[in-house]
Structure 1
């Protein structure tokens, strides 16, 4: 699961919160800032998908209380999308190679929809990659 570290600039009344690794994702500090940041993060990811640009992944170690989390499924989809963009592979090519429609690929990579890990593994296989899963101590 991706955990994006949050940076707070200013005070509680007029400050701004932003993601350390993606500063364009920001929100004023009022109400539930983590919720607003996550909504803004999902919007920025959608913009990256539409433009076909790499999606920044978290590199900074977040403070547990103040971070924005993507689910494991969303994180996996971001990894697959980034692999597509890095490899120069488009959804049309994937659809043709996998024998499915382009809309099926779009649905499979939509962060708001359910996740078929086996299908994402097939998508990665088309690009010469494979999905590995392992456990790690915290």
Structure 2
């Protein structure tokens, strides 16, 4: 019985910690040797057995709208803030709207590709015409159809 190994590629980083509200501030505080543990300053803290904790440096309510926070519990909000930072750090396009779901790539050609006004690959700029005969231009399609299919310009 063999172990199943999954390869993971880290493309972006994000953090929301007691040291900082984002990755650069957290990293700077780590390098400076700062601690995220602070005295609690709540009303009635005297009644608790412990009066210090590592609280977030930036509360989710400072980063997200009330509508977004209403739909999430605290842990989800913290995870979403870090995930959004990682998404931006990876250089990926920003989502249309916060929390908006996106559709997976279509397995069929887009209407502009089918009509011949655009191509699904960069080879069109190199002289490959859209939807020419049954030959393929040799460029692998990214995110469309089968992983092993090639573009048919």
TM-score, structure 1 normalization: 0.26
Higher share in helix: 1
Instruction: Pick the structure with greater CA Rg.
Output: 2
Judging by fraction of residues, say which structure has more strand: 1
